[in-house]
Structure 1
């Protein structure tokens, strides 16, 4: 799911687990399809008559989506100077992001400010400093699960928007496979970095309660979890470990819970297509207006 946790974030073996999931799930490709559809017009509108543009990425992980968005922002606003502030708790993924920036044409023109910290710590640091930098575009992709207080987090980052700016939150879709799995088994799964599972439903409810104007766009995605039902499959076990946020799915949960999760994954979270079990991993893109 996301690339940030409160304590350790993705470091060491968890980075390889995260990368494995990305390769199998097609999640970044689905997100990129969405941003390519949505952001050019948003960036054109946001950048109209601006002499400079400032971007904040929160929980940016290895930067694969960020570099695409920044390249898009450059192309829709040619010649306009851009700054990028990045908040990411994982030093390993931040190093990957830096390496990607060096390999991406034209991004050397963008000054980056790297904040290797959890988003809550960034919030405290900014508030302590008092002089808050404002941004034209802020994005929080697959990281909202790890914040302590959802309403406070959205309110804070919304307060950093310049006039006409946008806060983009991408999160698992309500009533999708992730939402069904984690809410059904929240007692067993919400015990470590994620203590309260959230999907687009909670984000939308929060935006409404704060009186914020927003629009929601679906991000369809599904991936093959057939191997999860073969106990001898290493691929299946690695997917189950990631999907349940357990180091070892088979040893961490009782036989009854394991059986229940597998039954739920097959019958409530997925559809069958040509003999393959396809997990509904739909997401939602929520654009909150300044």
Structure 2
């Protein structure tokens, strides 16, 4: 049996493809990624992994918006986006376009940070204080936003959560380059240390919401998996 998928690439992609190869003789894998560097990393991984020989890769160096403008009629049995929908221009439109390219009997698989975790609560705090306009126009999005979009499109889904923690000890240290980069990542704000008001609010939130275990400051992280099945 042959199956078709397209993905927004990340480390988990090859794992998913290998699982599919346990049930299908071949896989057509369309990869949509605007970064040439990320595509080259994925290609290098593919070249080194001989178990992926039955996979035909179709590399598309495009943004999501550019990709959907091509009006391709190909239908896919699996479409997944793992921790990438923070950065698309229009979350609702992207999910709608993904759903339209899904074949009957296919699955759409999305992973996002949960609205219940420490990161999302930080994003809401930053949004309330600094963001003008619609939060969904920024990268400060979470799984709750995805579910709200699916509900609006009357698409049913199931969810699962995976809880872990992020070591944010370096964030609260003065002059820590590692802490600076991590704080930028957590708050989705580049060069945080050049934004003293944002930095102060972010650190206040982290200190007030992290747990200290064995001298390590840990911020809760909950990843939510959302899976929608398209009935014929």
Q: Mean Cα displacement is larger for which, 146-155 or 198-207? A: 146-155
Contact residue 87 and residue 122 of structure 1 kept, 8 A: yes
Residue in 2 aligned with 1:243?
A: 186
Contact residue 182 and residue 189 of structure 1 kept, 8 A: no
Between the aligned partners of 2:212 and 2:115, the Cα distance in structure 1 is: 20
After the TM superposition, which residues 82-231 of structure 1 pair with which residues of structure 2 at under 5 Å, given as runs? 82-125=27-70, 127=71, 131-186=72-127, 188=130, 195=138, 197-231=140-174
Q: 2:219 matched to 1:274?
A: no
Cα separation, partners in 2 of 1:81 and 1:190, compared to 1, 3 Å: farther
- Give the TM-score normalised by the residue count of structure 1: 0.73
C-alpha distance after superposition, 1:190-236 (max 9, x if no partner): 89xx6252211111111111111100110212121111111132221
Which runs of no fewer than 5 residues in structure 1 stay unpaired?
1-50
Between the aligned partners of 2:131 and 2:168, the Cα distance in structure 1 is: 19
Cα separation, partners in 2 of 1:230 and 1:105, compared to 1, 3 Å: same
Compute the displacement of 1:244 (Å): 2.8
Equivalent of residue 57 in structure 1, options 1, 4, 7: 7
Cα separation, partners in 2 of 1:190 and 1:143, compared to 1, 3 Å: farther
Cα separation, partners in 2 of 1:190 and 1:67, compared to 1, 3 Å: farther
CA-atom RMSD in angstroms = 2.0
C-alpha distance after superposition, 1:75-132 (max 9, x if no partner): 2x15x2211000011110110000001111221221111111111111111x2xxx51
- Give the TM-score normalised by the residue count of structure 2: 0.90
C-alpha distance after superposition, 1:117-174 (max 9, x if no partner): 111111111x2xxx51111111011111122222221111111111211000101101
Counterpart secondary structure, 2:175:
coil
Contact residue 189 and residue 245 of structure 1 kept, 8 A: no
Structure 1: 4+ residue segments shifted above 3 A: 187-191
Counterpart secondary structure, 2:200:
helix
Between the aligned partners of 1:88 and 1:190, the Cα distance in structure 2 is: 29
Between the aligned partners of 1:53 and 1:112, the Cα distance in structure 2 is: 12
Cα separation, partners in 2 of 1:190 and 1:261, compared to 1, 3 Å: farther
Residue in 2 aligned with 1:287?
A: 227
Counterpart secondary structure, 2:53:
helix
Which runs of no fewer than 5 residues in structure 2 stay unpaired?
none
Between the aligned partners of 2:2 and 2:44, the Cα distance in structure 1 is: 25
